[in-house]
Structure 1
Amino acid sequence: MGGSPWEELGAPADRWAGCPPDLEGRGDALRHIRVCDLSGQLAGAGATRLLAAFGAQVIRVEDPTNQGGWDVVRGGPPYLDERRGIEFGAGFNNHNPEKLGVTLNLRTARGRELLERLIAVSDVVTENFAGGVFARMGFPYERLCELNPSIVYVSNSGFGTSGPYRDFRTWGPIVQAMSGLTFTSGLPGQPPAGWGYSYMDHMGAYTMAIAVLAALWHRDRTGEGQVVDVCTVEAGIALTGTDILERHLGGRPPRPPGTVHANRDPQMAPHGIYPARGEDRWIALACRDDDDWRRLAAEIGQPWARETRLGSAAARLTGQDALDELLGAWTAGFDAEQLAARLLAAGVPASPVRSAAERIDGPRPATPDWGLWPTVAHSRIGPARIEGLPVHLSETDWSLRRGAPCLGEHNQFVFGQLLGVDDAELADLAAAGVL
C-alpha cells in the first residue's frame, strides 16, 4: 500500500499560522484550507460557513462602494434589537461567522490586482453570481489557473454555467418552482404553494460544500485543481425523490391535477397535521401501514375508528377528506405534547408541531445540549445566538465563536499581513476607493 498523499505532495500548511489569536479559526479539520469567497446571500455563504466552522480560513470579499449592497442580506431583517444598518442584519451574521471580511472595488485595476494576489495564495475560489459573470469580470477559469495552477474554482448559480438559462438570475423560491419542488406543496383545489423561504439556498449550500470537499480531496491526492459547477435547480430536481421515480418508472404523473396536498402521502393515510388543544397548536401523525392504523384506532376508541372498512389503506386513502375531519375533531381535544407521548407509547408515529421558541429552547428534539445554537461575539452586535451544525465529530469538531465580519473589518490583516501591503499604501487604497 502507498503512503499518505501528503508524503508525496508535502504536508498541508496551517493557513492560520501567524494569525492574531482573536482572528484565528477554532475548527481543526480544514485548517490547511484558505477560501477566497466572493459568494453571498445564502447559497454560497451557507457553503463557506460550513467550511469555516471546520477551521477553513474563509476570506469574504465584498464591494466597498455600495454600503454592502453586494449582499442584500447584510443589513436586512431580522434584527437582534433596535439597531439598524449594514452591520446589524441577523441573517448575515448567521451565515458568515468565523469568516474574515475584506473589501475590494473590482471596477478598479488595483482592486483586481489585489484579488489576483489573494487567489494566488488560496486553495479555493467561490462565487455565486449568475453563470459566466465572474469570467466577464476578468476572471475566467483559465486566468485563475495562471494565478494558481491547483486552484479549485466553484461557481454556484441557479442554472449552472452552461445551457440556455445560464445567464438568468435566480432566488431560492424561483429555483424551487423550476425544479418541481413547489408543485409538491399545496392544498387540495388550490395552486401549488411551495415555500416562501429560500429552502433551495440552503440545500444548494450543502451540495456546494460537499462538492468543494470532494474537489479538495482530489487536489490533495493529485495536486490538480478543477471547476465545481453547482446548479441549484438540478439540486432541487434531485430532491423531488419519489415524484421523479413515479414519472419515469411508472409512466404516470405523481399526483392528478388539483390534488396536491402539502401534508399527505400518496401511500399512507392518515398522514398529516391535525389541530390540538390551544391556540395554534398542532400534532403530526403518520400511519405507515394497516398495523399503525389499528394501533391508532385503539387509542381513539370511538365507533367511527372501529369501522372495518378503515382497516384497508386503500379505503383510507380514498376517503382521506372525511377521515381527516374526524381525526382532527378527536385530536383537537388533547394537549399536543401529551397526545404525542401517548401515541408514541402505543407505537404510532406522532410529534407535536414545534414553534420556533420550542425548537431552540424547549425539550428534545430541540436538543439544547446538542450545541445547535451557539452564541458568537460580533464586533458591533455583541453576543448573538446563531445556528450551529447538526453534526459532531469526535476528533475534529466544528466551532463557531466569532461573529460575521463587519464590512472590510479584516483589510489590515489580509492585505497587510497576508499580502504584504504596507500601511501607507493601505491608507492610499482606502482613500482611492479601492478598499
Structure 2
Amino acid sequence: MGHSEMAGALDGLLVLDLSRILAGPTATQLLGDLGATVIKIENPKTGGDDTRSWGPPYAETPDGQSDLSAYFMAANRNKYSVGADLSTPEGQALVRSIAAQADVVIENYKPGGLVKYGLDHATLCAAHPALVYCSISGFGQTGPNRDRAGYDLMAQGYGGIMSLTGAPEGPPMKVGVGIADVMCGMYATIGILAALRHRDATGEGQHIDLALVDAQMAWLINEGTNFLTSGQEPARRGNAHPNIVPYDVFATSDGHIILAVGNDRQFRAFCKAFDRPDLAETPDYETNPKRIANRGALSKAVSETLSRVTRDAALEILQAAGVPAGPIHSVADALGSDQAAARGGVVEVPHPQTSAGSVQLLGNPLKFSKTPVQMRAAPPRFGQDTERLDTILKAHKK
C-alpha cells in the first residue's frame, strides 16, 4: 500500500478489523481513507467476508474466479486482507499479535461471540488498556434483544424508519440502500475518533457498544421528535414533508421534479412565476401552518400547474424565480453529472489483479485542505496480504 508524500489525518493509526458485511466495513474503510492502516481479518473457511459473493456484478479477474463483488468493493478499499481462522489457536494467536499493536479493534460478532476465542472486549481491553475497542451488533451488548441477529432490513423495520417510507397507501418500505448499516458505521467512526482523542489525552482506551437499531432510532430526527412532542404517530407521506408544504415530487408533462418551498416568500415567488395569483391570494395558503392544514387541495393545484410544462421548462422557471427545485436523477445521471466530475464523485483506482487493471469506486465526500483523502489501494482479493503481515506490522512498530 505504501505511504505517499502527503500524510493522511490518521497516519500511523493501526486498525484491526474483525467486521464483515457493511456497518463495520463502512467505518474501517472511512478510517482507511483518512490514512489509518487497516488489517481486515477474513475467515479462510468461508472464503472471507460474506459480501465477496454478493454478486453479480463482479470485477472481472484474469483467473475468472472473482471474489470482488461490487457490494464488497463498496466498503473495503484502503485495507489489507489477512486470512485467519479464529476457531484455531494459530488464528487466535495471529489476531492477538495484531491487537497488541493496534490502536483500534472493530468487530460485529453477536454479543459474547468472541469470548470463546479470547478476543472479546473484556479480554483485549484488560490486556491492552490503551485500546479503543468498538463492538457493532443488531441490538447492542445489553437489553432484551441482545442475542437477536442484526441485519439492515430488520433494523429499518424495528427502528421505525420503514413506517415513514413509501407511498401513503402503499406498504412500509425500506430505504433503497442499507442505510441503517451505513449510518451505524458513521456513528462508529465518530465514536472511535472521540475515544482516540480521549486516549491521547489520558492514555485510557475504552469499549464502544453500538447497535444498528439504536443508531437507526437516533436518526429518526425530526419525525422522531415530532412524535415525542405531539404524541401523534407520524404519517407515511411518500416524498412529501411533514412540516413544510409544498415540498414534494411533482409530475411535469414529461417527467418528475422536486419542488421544495421552504418559506412564505418562496411560495409567493412560485405563484408569481407560474401566474397563479389566485393561490397567492387564498387565505388558506398564506402561511406554512395554513398550507400544512390544507395540504391536499394545495398539492392538487400545484400538480395541475406543473403538469402543463415540461420538466426542463419548470426547472428553468423555478430557478429564475429563486424557488428551490431540482431534477430527480437516476444513478447513472447522478454519477455521470458535471457536479460528480467536478467533486470527485467517482474515482478510478488501480487494481493489478483485475482484467481491466483498475476498478471504479464511489469517491469520499470529505475535502480536506491539509490532509486530503487518498485512495491508496483498491479493495483486496481474499487473503492477499497474509504472507506479508510481518512486513506491514514492522512498518507500524510503536
Q: Normalized against structure 2, the TM-score is what?
A: 0.90
For the pair 1:285 / 2:285, whether they are aligned, the reply is: no
1:369 aligns with 342
Q: Confirm or deny: 8 A CA contact 1:124 1:152 kept in the other structure.
A: yes
Corresponding letter in the other structure for 2:264: D
1:197 aligns with 177
Cα distance, 1:167 vs. partner? 1.2
Change (3 A) 1:383 1:329: farther
Q: Confirm or deny: 8 A CA contact 1:175 1:233 kept in the other structure.
A: yes
Q: Confirm or deny: 8 A CA contact 1:88 1:380 kept in the other structure.
A: no
Change (3 A) 1:419 1:363: closer
For 1:226 and 1:353, the matched residues in 2 are separated by 44
For 1:302 and 1:347, the matched residues in 2 are separated by 16
1:93 aligns with 73
Aligned Cα RMSD in Å? 2.4
Cα-to-partner distance string for 1:34-70 (whole Å, 9 max, x where unaligned): 01101111100000011000110000000011223xx
Q: Confirm or deny: 8 A CA contact 1:173 1:197 kept in the other structure.
A: no
Aligned residues: 389
Q: How does 1:17-36 map to 2 (within 5 A)?
A: 22-24=1-3, 28-36=8-16
Corresponding letter in the other structure for 1:371: G
Q: Confirm or deny: 8 A CA contact 2:58 2:67 kept in the other structure.
A: no
Q: Normalized against structure 1, the TM-score is what?
A: 0.83
1:14 aligns with none
Corresponding letter in the other structure for 2:50: V
For 2:89 and 2:277, the matched residues in 1 are separated by 80
The percent of aligned pairs where both chains have the same amino acid is 30
Cα-to-partner distance string for 1:168-207 (whole Å, 9 max, x where unaligned): 1111121122222112222223332232421111111110
Change (3 A) 1:131 1:338: farther
- Among 125, 150, 153, which residue is 2:105 paired with? 125
Cα distance, 1:290 vs. partner? 2.7
Structure 2, unpaired ranges of 5+: none
Q: Confirm or deny: 8 A CA contact 1:173 1:196 kept in the other structure.
A: no
For 1:307 and 1:249, the matched residues in 2 are separated by 32
Change (3 A) 1:46 1:410: same
Q: How does 1:310-389 map to 2 (within 5 A)?
A: 310-312=284-286, 313-364=288-339, 367-381=340-354, 382-389=357-364
For 2:155 and 2:147, the matched residues in 1 are separated by 14
For the pair 1:253 / 2:232, whether they are aligned, the reply is: yes
- Among 371, 376, 398, which residue is 1:396 paired with? 371
Structure 1, unpaired ranges of 5+: 1-21, 421-435
Q: Confirm or deny: 8 A CA contact 1:75 1:85 kept in the other structure.
A: no
- Among 88, 98, 122, which residue is 1:142 paired with? 122
For the pair 1:273 / 2:249, whether they are aligned, the reply is: yes
Cα-to-partner distance string for 1:104-130 (whole Å, 9 max, x where unaligned): 011111111111111111111111122
Cα distance, 1:242 vs. partner? 2.1
Change (3 A) 1:106 1:307: same
Q: Confirm or deny: 8 A CA contact 2:60 2:66 kept in the other structure.
A: no
